[in-house]
């Protein structure tokens, strides 16, 4: 009889324990459902997303104020050169403008420090063609080519530039260069001008006291415009007996009528 009672008691306690466990599990499930349905959305602010304002092209201080006033956290990520944006203005923002984000979100900004500075390249010692390429490459403009004699540089290289190398310059600044004619002539003879520019020819004639007379043009598209093709008095002639020389120079403009032969006669 005693054994039967003990066995019944054990079964009762076991059922009671299992019932409690079951009740606890049910309560935990209900609690989890309540947390997931009500508490978690409140904690994560689920459904509370806001449109991020557009602060690009605005001054940095103004952009920061706008973002802070709307509950976001602005961070300056980088500063870069950009000629399309004024210095101190916002170039980019991440996340992008009008994106839906939560309050307190970090917004990374890239700010312009203006146009990249241009430094004058070194041109001395280069040929005029290479110097012009360097000038254009630096977003500058070749303005004038001047010719002068030099005892230190051989003919045809740049011996001076209007802006010193390394100096900061503005975009599209006009640059003058001086090209060497070599040493000044020591004899009073008519120089050989063929193949030289009109400016160089005028400079060489001026040294020996001869002025340029008539200048005619002939269509020679393969030559640089303004190149001397012929001269009316031969090189080596005594310059003291010559008052002026007529020159025939090239042009890249097609002729409108038939040209005369490549010869000149003093008029």
Angle at 55 between CA 54 and CA 58, to 5 degrees: 140
pLDDT at 267 over 50: no
Domains of the chain: 49-112 (3.30.10.20), 117-184 (3.30.10.20), 186-256 (3.30.10.20)
Q: Which one-letter DSSP state was computed for residue 241?
A: G
CA distance 65 to 188: 78
The pLDDT confidence band at residue 143, using thresholds 50, 70 and 90, is: very high
Choice among 34-38, 43-47, 88-92, 100-104 with the minimum mean pLDDT: 43-47
Predicted TM-score (pTM) of this structure: 0.56
Q: Which residues are registered as beta bridge partners of 107?
A: 74
The predicted-structure confidence for 217-265, as pLDDT tens digits, reads as follows 999 999 989 999 999 999 999 998 899 999 999 999 988 765 555 555 4
pLDDT per position as a tens digit, 27-64: 777 877 776 666 555 555 555 789 999 999 999 999 99
């Amino acid at each position: 009889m005693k054994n039967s009672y003990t066995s019944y008691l054990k079964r009762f306690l076991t059922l009671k324990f299992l019932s409690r466990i079951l009740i606890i599990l049910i309560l935990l499930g209900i609690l989890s459902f309540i947390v997931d349905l009500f508490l978690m959305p409140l904690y994560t602010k689920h459904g509370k997303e806001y449109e991020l304002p557009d602060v690009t092209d605005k001054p940095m201080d103004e952009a920061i104020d706008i973002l802070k006033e709307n509950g976001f956290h602005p961070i300056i990520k980088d500063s870069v050169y950009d000629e399309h944006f004024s210095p101190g203005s916002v170039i980019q923002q991440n996340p992008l403008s009008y994106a839906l984000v939560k309050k307190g979100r970090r917004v990374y900004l890239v700010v312009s420090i203006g146009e990249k500075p241009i430094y004058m390249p070194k041109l001395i010692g280069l040929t005029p063609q290479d110097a012009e390429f360097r000038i254009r490459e630096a977003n500058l403009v070749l303005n004038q080519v001047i010719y002068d004699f030099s005892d230190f540089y051989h003919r045809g290289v740049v011996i001076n530039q209007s802006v010193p190398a390394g100096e900061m310059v503005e975009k599209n600044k006009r640059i003058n260069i001086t090209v060497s004619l070599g040493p000044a002539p020591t004899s009073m003879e008519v120089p050989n001008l063929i193949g030289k520019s009109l400016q160089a020819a005028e400079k060489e004639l001026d040294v020996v006291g001869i002025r340029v007379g008539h200048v005619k043009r002939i269509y020679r598209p393969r030559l640089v415009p303004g190149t001397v093709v012929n001269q009316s008095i031969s090189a080596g002639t005594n310059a003291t007996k010559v008052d002026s020389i007529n020159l025939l120079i090239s042009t890249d403009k097609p002729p409108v009528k038939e040209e005369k032969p490549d010869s000149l006669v003093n008029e």
